[in-house]
Every structure is written in C-alpha cells, then in structure tokens.
Amino acid sequence: MKIFALILIIISLPSFAEIDLVKVDKSENKMYLLENSKVIKEYHVAFGGSPKGHKEQEGDQKTPEGLYTLDYKKENSSFYRAMHVSYPNQTDLDNAKSKGVSAGGFIMVHGQKNRLGWLSGITQRFNWTNGCIALTNSEMDEFMALVKVGTKIQIEW
C-alpha cells in the first residue's frame, strides 16, 4: 500500500509544483517550467515563421526575447486556451517608435487553432504562429494548471 501511495505522489508531483519561471529556448523549440531553478516540465513548442531574433514590429513573425510576465489567462480565444505575455514593454515601444513602426502585441502562449487540435501531431513540427508560443491542447491544459498569472517568462535564442 505504501508503494502505491508513493507512486501516486511521484506521478502527481508536477501538479504540486510552484512554477516560478517559464524559460523558452527559441533555438531548440523548447519551453521549460522551473521551480527554484529546477526543471519540472519540458515542452516542444512552435513559434512564428521567423523565430530568430527579437520581435521589433507587428507582422515580423518573431517571438519577443527578454524577461516578461504572464499577465492574464484568456479562455475565449481563436486558439485553445491562452496566457498573455506582457510584450511590448516600454523599451519595445520606444524601439518601435524610433523606427516608425508598431511594436505589435497580443503575444500569447496558446494551444492549437480552435477545431484543429487534432492536427497538433503535424503542426507542432513547424513554426506556424504569428509570433506566439504554441503547445498542443493537452499540454496547454497542463500549462494553465501549473503556471499562475504573474509568473515570469524568460525568452531567448
């Protein structure tokens, strides 16, 4: 009986985790959920069509790089569930303004396009978003359960 209880605790461990950082490595198409610098969960993710480099303007197909905050959850989206990344920050806005362009925005961690989740085995092999960070729908459910609003997200190449 004790072994069974121990197995249940080990299997359930991520749900008890206090994720304090989401780290995204664009060069590897990976996202890591960390608790006290320890990786609790790893995901393969998809980005926009031109993922290398920092997002500088709307429509550039890039995911921003730097430290941001996951600042709210969105359940009524064109994609299966989503959590918003706090891009653009003031530096991003100033940079875009100096170039005479819009910084863009509405960068999210999200699931698959609504009604197309069954294609995730194919879509997640490619960078297909407009600059967001995409997971499968089941991974998005897990992400939303583990990551609280206010958690920092570090995105780098």
% of the chain with per-residue pLDDT over 70: 82
Q: Give the burial class of 117: count Cβ atoms within 10 A of its Cβ; 0-12 exposed, 13-18 middle, 19 or more buried.
A: middle
Residue type, position 102, single letter: S
102: Cβ–Cβ under 8 A, 6 or more apart, which residues? 57, 58, 96
pTM: 0.84
Give the model's confidence band at 9: pLDDT under 50 very low, under 70 low, under 90 confident, else very high: very low
pLDDT of residue 2: 44
List residues with catalytic annotation.
Answer: 110, 132
Where are the chain's structural domains? 45-151
Per residue in 98-155, pLDDT tens? 999 999 999 999 997 756 655 566 666 777 688 999 999 999 999 999 999 999 999 9
- Domain 45-151 listed as CATH 3.30.70: no
